[in-house]
Amino acid sequence: MPTVSLDGIDLKILTILQSEGKLTNTELAERVGLSATPCLRRVKRLEQEGVIVGYRAELDRNLIGLGLTVLVDVKMDGPRNENSTKIQEVLRAMPEVLSCHLVSGEYDLMLEVAVPDLPSYERFLLGKLLELHMFKDIRSHVVIRTVSDRTPLPLDHLNPNH
C-alpha cells in the first residue's frame, strides 16, 4: 500500500500527468473536475511528498540514434557487499546505462543499456563493463522489440472506489 494518502482526485491527477506532463494547471484542473487553485495545491503537495519526482520528455530512441537496447545480467565477483557501493557509483556514471536493478536469482544486477548499434554495444561491453574486473559473469539480451512498457504506471488498484 502507498505510504502517502491518495484519494481519487490525486490518482486522476497522477494518471493524467504521467502521460500528459505538459498540461497547464488550468487544463489539468478541468480534466479532474477542480478549479485551478485547489488543483495546483494538490500537485504541489504531491511534489513535496515525493510522489511526483520530476517531469521529463519521452524520446524516441531510434530517432535520436539510440536504436539498440540491451538487457544485461551481471553476476558480481566476490562478496556482494564489498563491491556493491563501488559498482553502483561506476554504473551511475555510465551514460549508456539507463537503469540498474539489484535482483534475486542467479545474477545480482540487471542493467538496461541503450546504444546506437551492435558495434557500440561491443565497445561498451569490452571497453567499460569488462574493464571493471568486478564481475564474474555477464549475459546480454538484445531487445528485438519492446512489446509492453508500463509507462504510465497503472494506478487503478489504488483507487478505493474500484
pTM metric for this prediction: 0.80
| Domain CATH for 122 | 3.30.70.920
| Domain CATH for 17 | 1.10.10.10
Q: Which amino acid is at 90?
A: V
Contact 69, 46 (CB under 8 A): no
Q: Are residues 74 and 26 in the same domain?
A: no
pLDDT at 142: 98
Q: Are residues 81 and 127 in the same domain?
A: yes
CA dist., res. 20 & res. 133, Å (int): 43
| Domain membership of residue 132 as a residue range | 68-142
Q: Are residues 49 and 76 in the same domain?
A: no
Q: Are residues 83 and 133 in the same domain?
A: yes
When divided into structural domains, the chain yields a total of 2
Angle at 145 between CA 120 and CA 94, to 5 degrees: 35
| Average of per-residue pLDDT values in the chain | 90
Which residues of the chain are under the pLDDT cut of 50? Answer: none
First to last CA, the chain: 15
Q: In this structure, what DSSP letter does residue 131 have?
A: G
Closest CA to 151 of 4, 7, 20: 20
